Amino acid sequence: MSVDAAKLNWMTTRLDAALGWARKFSIFQYPFVTACCGMEYMATATSHYDMDRFGAGFPRFSPRQADVLFVVGTISHKLAPMLRRVYDQMTEPKWVVAFGVCTCTGGFYDNYATVQGIDTVMPVDVYIPGCPPRPENVLDGLIKLQEKIAQGELAR
């Protein structure tokens, strides 16, 4: 009895699409907050902007329970190994959001102590620039992250 490989390929493709759809509406985030952007991060979580409608309402307090790492604020070279350790503790699939211009590029801290973008420490999936980014920009970045999650391995 031979198995038609085309039918199996169709089945795995449809299963990946269903998993991507389910994952994009259940974002378990872990906020790594170090600086002033944390205030705007908290503002985005209020009922006025309602991050919960995107499935990202309740932050997790352990990286082992999270699949999205929100890096919020300035990262120093001394803090970078700890951030990488948090990233390594997360299970696959995992995504990273750089929140704020200091996280994305180092911002106006162009000195020896500050990491000039966390993409030198770990892969970043979505950049949300701004000093601090407005909640509307954060929600736009969250929608872009949802699209990337829905695509699954195709987006990586």
Residue 155 lies in a domain: no
Tens digits of per-residue pLDDT, 3-30?
665 555 655 567 777 777 777 777 888 9
**Are residues 5 and 46 in contact, defined by beta-carbon separation less than 8 angstroms?**
no
Q: At what angle do helices 5-24 and 135-151 cross, to 10 degrees?
A: 160
Neighbours of 72 (CB within 10 A): 28
Q: Can you give the CATH number for the domain in which 36 is found?
A: 3.40.50.12280
Residue 110 lies in a domain: yes
**Are residues 125 and 99 in contact, defined by beta-carbon separation less than 8 angstroms?**
no
Residue 20 lies in a domain: no
Residue 136 lies in a domain: yes
Tens digits of per-residue pLDDT, 54-112?
777 778 888 998 999 999 999 999 999 999 999 999 998 899 999 999 999 988 888 99
Residue 3 lies in a domain: no
Residue 144 lies in a domain: yes
Count of domains forming the chain: 1
Which among 140, 133, 130 is positioned nearest to 51, based on CA atoms?
140
Domain carrying residue 133: 28-149
